[in-house]
């Protein structure tokens, strides 16, 4: 393996698509049972910048709360990247990723649950 590929591997992690649960198909079969996943485009996985953790807003499902759409926080991947320094629990949502009053994505942490 070339040095460039090794460098990319150390920076990015591979995760199964949370929205389709790694099947590559639309989990809700809206267009048809054979429709491709709108998040991974049938690839069944994503490459995400390290370090990353489970999305607090959708709890790693990749699906927006109460809807059949990809999560607005993680874009359906189920994981969120943390490329900043030390992280702490978001004081606005107490780590839930959701605004306490409205249940919408927390504006301070953008649904990640950490800042």
**90 lies in a domain?**
no
Contact partners, residue 34, CB within 8 Å, separation at least 6: 25
pLDDT of residue 10: 76
**92 lies in a domain?**
no
**98 lies in a domain?**
no
**68 lies in a domain?**
yes
- Whether the CB-CB separation of 39 and 17 falls below 8 Å is answered with yes
- Residue 37's domain spans which residues? 1-82
pLDDT of residue 65: 86
Average pLDDT for runs of 10 along the chain of length 115: 61 95 93 92 96 94 92 95 80 91 89 89
C-alpha distances out from residue 15 to 49, 53, 82, 100, Å: 11, 11, 15, 29
User: Among 67, 61, 108, 53, which Cα is nearest to 100's?
Assistant: 108
Rama region for 22: left / alpha / beta (φ>0; ψ in -120 to 50; rest):
left
| Number of domain units in the chain | 1
pLDDT of residue 4: 62
**95 lies in a domain?**
no
**48 lies in a domain?**
yes
**104 lies in a domain?**
no
Question: DSSP letters of 35-60?
Answer: PBPTTTTT--EEEEESSEEE-TTTTT
**110 lies in a domain?**
no
């Amino acid at each position: 393996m070339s040095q460039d590929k090794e460098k990319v591997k150390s920076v990015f992690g591979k995760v199964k698509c949370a929205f389709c649960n790694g099947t590559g198909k639309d989990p809700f079969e809206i267009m048809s049972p054979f429709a491709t996943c709108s998040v991974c485009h049938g690839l069944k996985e994503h490459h995400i910048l390290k370090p990353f953790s489970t999305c607090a807003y959708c709890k790693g499902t990749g699906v927006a709360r109460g809807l059949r759409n990809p999560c607005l926080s993680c874009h359906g991947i189920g994981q969120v990247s943390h490329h900043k320094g030390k992280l702490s629990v978001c004081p606005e949502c107490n780590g839930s990723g959701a605004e306490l009053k409205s249940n919408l994505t927390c504006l301070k942490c953008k649904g990640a649950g950490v800042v």
